[in-house]
Amino acid sequence: MIRRTVLPLCAALMSLAAVAGCGVLGGDDPAAEAAKKPAAGSSSKASEAQPPYDVKPLLHPDKEYFGVALDGAPSSLKPVDAFAETVGKKPDLVGSYSSWGDGFNAKGAQNVFGDGGLMYVSWEPFKPGLDRIADGSQDTYIKKYADSVRKTNVPVAISFGHEMNGGWYPWGTKDTTPATFVKAWRHIHDVFQEVGATNVVWVWSPNVINPVPSVKLKPYWPGDAYVDWVGIVGYWTQTGAHTFDTLYGPTRKQIDAFTDKPVLISETSSEPGERRRADVRALLGGVKADKDVIGFLWFNIPKRADWRIQSSPLALAEFKRLIADDDFGFEVPRS
């Protein structure tokens, strides 16, 4: 979920008050390329002997998650270390993008967990279509992916088909139906359960409804048994909403009518410009104040606009001041 006066990440919605999310398309993410290579040691006897990692302690943290998506991460932690030095605090949630057909990035998941954090995967089904996922014809791939997750045996958050309530992705409103999305989601979840890949935090992540007010969210809801967190994609633009409540509130109101799952601002950033410092203050202040919101993930990748916080010195200074608060930063349990 995103925004701008600069060319948008999702160009078709750039002029809207809240623009669609900036997923890194297949082939753009170094982590996705690395994920195609088998991870060393991911199927070792030691990992097979360990009990499955229990994600339950991660679902309701006592502090806020501080997440970031960076070029080159999490296959390498050098970008994460550099970002931590820039803002004065190490993120505990590291975002990545994986196209349907890519292998699970076991190395990235191990890197992040070894550094005390949680890898977040936006799993993007550009092909072959939700109907073919839902009908079981992709099960060989799903089982292989799920088995790699299981063998890696570290926690990972997976958001399948994010921003499904928009029309800018092939799994969105123009090319499929809510019923097919729900069927595909439940099928993937069931396959993971059958394989024993229970070390997953499942994140259902629509775009803020501001640019698509006529699309109702409830028909896309897979059900409480299939989701652990509600993720909300929503960017701050120069011409869009500029308070926490006006940007995320309308979406939250719909969601609150059918679930009380914890909420993560799962993809966000602020468009460079004179309001950026105030946007940072509104975002971090809103996350801290809202007891139902468990954190945020900042998109720190230059893609048609420079979303990196370090590109705006005043906004960076505000970010550093606010992220230093002890409320931000959740240490992922080792077991």
Catalytic residues, by residue number, are: 163, 267
Given the DSSP bridges, would you call strands 156-160 and 65-69 parallel, antiparallel or unpaired? Answer: unpaired
User: Helix axis angle, 276-289 relative to 244-256, nearest 10°?
Assistant: 40
What single string gives the DSSP state of each residue in 207-275? BPSTT-TTS-SGGG---GGG-SEEEEE--B-SSS--SHHHHHHHHHHHHHTT----EEEEEE-B-SSTT
The residue behind tokens 């990440």 is 9
7: left (phi over 0), alpha (psi -120 to 50) or beta: beta
C-alpha count within 13 angstroms, C-beta hemisphere, residue 164: 32
126: left (phi over 0), alpha (psi -120 to 50) or beta: alpha
